[in-house]
Amino acid sequence: MNIDVMYSSKSNEWGTPQKFFNELHKEFKFTLDPCCNKENAKCNKYYTKQDDGLSKDWGGEIVFCNPPYGKDIKYWVKKCYKESLKHNTTVVMLMPARTDTKYFHDYIYHKAELRFIKGRLKFESPNVEKSQSAPFPSMLVIFKQMNLIIR
């Protein structure tokens, strides 16, 4: 297997490092992984590419979303934002820190909590024995309804 394929535009799937996910799971208690495959699913309830997580209702879930990082990421960002507007729904996205994009300004900036990740994550791949650091910075985008106090 050519490791360069995983870190090029030929692959847009980046498996979340288990240790990193475990720390997030302690905080959020995730119930749904809407874009994964059977090998890298992080929750008991999950949707694969064949299930089409973009077409499903995530209402009432605590969602961990590590979307495909290709040109379709904008659809996942929009879906995460819209689903988070539903009652009792929180969505946490792990994604490249691309703050210059239209989707960042339309759906993330001033609409979500941002956590920039120090250093580069070492994503997992079932086809690569030793993981390598990603060639891009990553961030967490946390979409949740704000509890507004009206006086």
In a domain, 150, yes or no: no
**Confidence (pLDDT) at 8:** 43
Give Cβ neighbours of residue 130 (< 8 Å, ≥ 6 apart): none
The domain spanning residue 19 has which CATH number?
Answer: 3.40.50
Domain that holds residue 25: 3-144
Residue 15 has pLDDT above 50, yes or no: yes
Tokens of 98: 């691309």
The whole-angstrom separation of Cα 84 and Cα 65 is: 12
Q: Residues 123-133: pLDDT tens digits? A: 876 555 556 77
Q: Residues 41-98: pLDDT tens digits? A: 999 999 999 999 999 999 999 999 999 988 999 999 999 999 999 999 999 999 999 9
The sign of the CA dihedral 131, 137, 140, 141 is negative
The whole-angstrom separation of Cα 77 and Cα 112 is: 11
How many separate domains does the chain show? 1
**Confidence (pLDDT) at 133:** 79
Tokens of 53: 């997580």
